[in-house]
Amino acid sequence: MSNPADARRRWVGLFFLFIALGLLIWGQTLLKPYLSGLVFVFYWLLCFAFTILAMLTALLDFWIMRHRTRAAHRELLEKSFGTDKLQKGPNEKTPD
């Protein structure tokens, strides 16, 4: 069910997450004495931006997989029960 676009999207999300993690670790250890004033704000905004990008990538992947799962479920129901029964709503009656 997975394809190359899914793998690429997940790798991009993982990349964003690792960059954010690296910025977090560096900002709390090696770069802490050098971060002050506007540099501090820009550095942590950059870390926050990579974190948001990782979350948006994960959310996009979730939406795409949910859409595919619904489509596969609908297709399975149509194959199992026929298309006539699925196109009508639950309150609609068939004409006699």
Q: What dihedral do alpha carbons 12, 18, 19, 20 form, nearest 10°?
A: 110
Rounded to two decimals, what is the model's pTM?
0.76
Per-residue pLDDT of the chain in tens (96 residues, 90 and over written 9): 678 999 999 999 999 999 999 999 999 999 999 999 999 999 999 999 999 999 999 999 999 999 999 999 999 988 888 765 555 556 656 554
Domain boundaries, the chain: 4-84
Provide the 8-state DSSP code for 82. Answer: -
